[in-house]
Amino acid sequence: MRFALLALLLLAACSTNPVMLHRAREADAPFAFNGRIAIRQDARRDSAGVRWTHRDGTDEILLLAPLGQTVARIVHGAEQTTLEAQGRRYVAQNAEDLMQQALGWRLPLSGLRYWIMALPAPDGEARIERNANGQVNLLRQQGWEISYTRYAAESGDALPLRLKLQREGVEVRVLIDEWEAQ
């Protein structure tokens, strides 16, 4: 009896949430993912784990150290962005300037929350190139060139797993390990 209960508990602990392979059709659909981010700005290089949750028009981004400790917490909403890192709290209306000030590099949060799902941001013209499956290969918007190199599935509505953003001396690579339905 104890062995059966222990086996059942172990099986439950080993089960994982199903990977969300396809995106919702709405641009503001809630999402969450776990992954990694690497940033190169001029000669500076940084990397971190990332946990990103988008819900109700607000993004919460946790940047994580190799052992999972939170290095920075970013909350980006329509009115302002808050960044907490190293015991300090920063608040600003412009997320990119705030990140440059606090972390030393720019992350294009206003567009990135759309680009992460292979969608153009609603503000600004976008040029999109697609592959034979209808997936976005290349998206150009707001001065950024975003290339998508891997998707969760072959279908046209599959979510990206690997993307690279480039703009004037800045390169951002995002590797998504797991999408979660919200």
Could you read off the pLDDT of 70-110 as tens digits, one per residue?
A: 999 999 988 889 999 889 999 988 888 888 887 777 788 88
pLDDT band per the 50, 70, 90 thresholds, residue 167: very high
d(CA 18, CA 130): 27
Across the range 137-159, mean pLDDT stands at 95
The yes or no reply on domain 24-180 and CATH 3.30.450.40 is no
How far are the Cα atoms of 48, 71, 176 from residue 117, in angstroms, in the given order? Answer: 20, 24, 11
* Res 1: pLDDT: 45
Rg (CA), the chain: 18
Domain extents for the chain?
Answer: 24-180
Stated as kind and residue range, the H or E segment containing 160 is strand 160-167
Per-residue DSSP letter, 27 = T
pLDDT at 46 over 60: yes
Number of separate helices (H) and strands (E) present in the chain: 3, 11
Report the predicted TM-score, pTM, of the whole model to 2 decimal places: 0.82
Contacts of 67 (CB under 8 A, 6+ apart): none
